Amino acid sequence: MAPLLLLNAEDVRSLIDLPALFGALEVALRELSAGNASVPPRTVARTPEGFLGSMPGYLPGTLEAKLVAVFPRNHDRGLPSHQALIALFDEGTGAPLCVMDGTVITEVRTGATAAVAARALAREGASSLAVLGAGVQGRSHLDAFPRLFELGDIRVASRDPRHAETLAGSHPKARAVDSFEEAVRGADLVCCCTDADEPVLSHAWLAPGAHVSSVGVGAEVDEATVRASSIFVEWRGAAENPPPTGSAELQGLDPASIAEIGEVLAGAHPGRRSDGELTLYKSTGHAVEDAAAARQVFDRASAEGVGATFEL
């Protein structure tokens, strides 16, 4: 067996090219909706404190599997709530090629995919952004969204005001505000990036025509917003499977009433139909996103001689 490439978190972060990743994610989402990817629903093994999820997937050109541990109380321990590793395999022979840190990839691809979805769904001229949550995903979204939108006003809110101040200080156009409501009112783009089990967003705060993005595992979006929105997902299984495989907010909805973002990107679904329409992108995370990001990292590592090798 040929030596495997090993890429640590520092390697992965240095190799991710976010502007290029946007395009790779668009391709991956279109391939998924076209039926060209092979991805079974995520399976989980539960513990008293969290769960370990298995996310294998095949995207033309990439065969991979991610193991991701989700332990919400890790924030109190000074550890990431999501920790992961990714293995890549040769799609022709099944031979292992690489083992890499998956925590950084999960962080970056989640915010990047949300930004790609927002670009396809938000009304033209969207210029104000609310980021709810100032943890890993708050930072990921604050990095991704300004690259795809001309933003004049960015508001950051957190249940811990100190975290909001710290995150807002990382971007010249961002400012911390005192509450989720203050962040949301009047915003064109609203990003829910929390681990909350109860809604952090109220439909009453949303401006007509706002676009809402939600990546939290829990039920962070209120029922009124779900009912009032045109809903878009990575895969319709988000409404057909219970959490954490599917979305807590979408349980009981008719999957036929929900559109996949890959359909919008491919032109098979119109997406937003009017400036006053409320759109909601609900992410559960998907293996094709990991595949797109991991392939980019592996190819660049191979070309640049980054990483160490080892033998099983």
Q: Are residues 131 and 84 in the same domain?
A: no
Q: What is the pLDDT of residue 76?
A: 84
50 and 32 in a common domain? yes
Q: What is the pLDDT of residues 228-266, one digit of tens each?
A: 999 999 999 999 999 999 999 999 999 999 999 999 999
Question: What are all long-range contacts of 16-19, with beta carbons under 8 Å and residues at least 24 apart?
Answer: 16/104, 16/105, 16/108, 16/293, 16/296, 16/297, 17/296, 17/300, 18/108, 18/112, 18/143, 18/144, 18/147, 19/147
Q: For position 188, which CATH number holds?
A: 3.40.50.720
Cβ-contact 90, 83 below 8 angstroms: no
Q: Is the pLDDT of residue 36 over 90?
A: yes
Q: Count Cβ atoms within 10 A of the Cβ of residue 309 and give its class: 0-12 exposed, 13-18 middle, 19 or more buried.
A: exposed
Q: Are residues 133 and 221 in the same domain?
A: yes
Q: Are 15 and 306 in contact (CB under 8 A)?
A: yes
Q: Are residues 135 and 68 in the same domain?
A: no
User: Diameter of the chain by CA atoms?
Assistant: 59
On whether both 271 and 203 belong to a single domain, the answer is yes
Which structural domain range is residue 204 located in? Answer: 110-282
Segment 142-197, tens digit of pLDDT = 999 999 999 999 999 999 999 999 999 999 999 999 999 999 999 999 999 998 98
**Do 151 and 237 lie in a common domain?**
yes
- Residue for token pair 């592996």: 298
Both 218 and 203 in one domain: the answer is yes
Q: What is the pLDDT of residue 170?
A: 97
- Angle of helix 287-304 relative to helix 103-121, nearest 10 degrees, comes to 120
Residues 296 and 277 reside in one and the same domain: no
The count of structural domains within the chain is 2
Indicate the pTM of the whole model.
0.96
Q: Are residues 274 and 291 in the same domain?
A: no
Same domain, 117 and 245: yes
Rounded Cα–Cα distance for residues 238 and 250 (Å): 7
Q: Give yes or no: residues 30 and 120 share one domain.
A: no
Q: Is the peptide bond before 72 cis (omega within 30 degrees of 0)?
A: no
Looking at residue 167, its amino acid is L
Any idea which residue has 């975290």 for tokens? 163
pLDDT tens-digit readout, 42-66: 999 999 999 999 999 999 999 999 9
Same domain, 94 and 237: no
Query: 3-class DSSP state for residue 133?
Result: coil
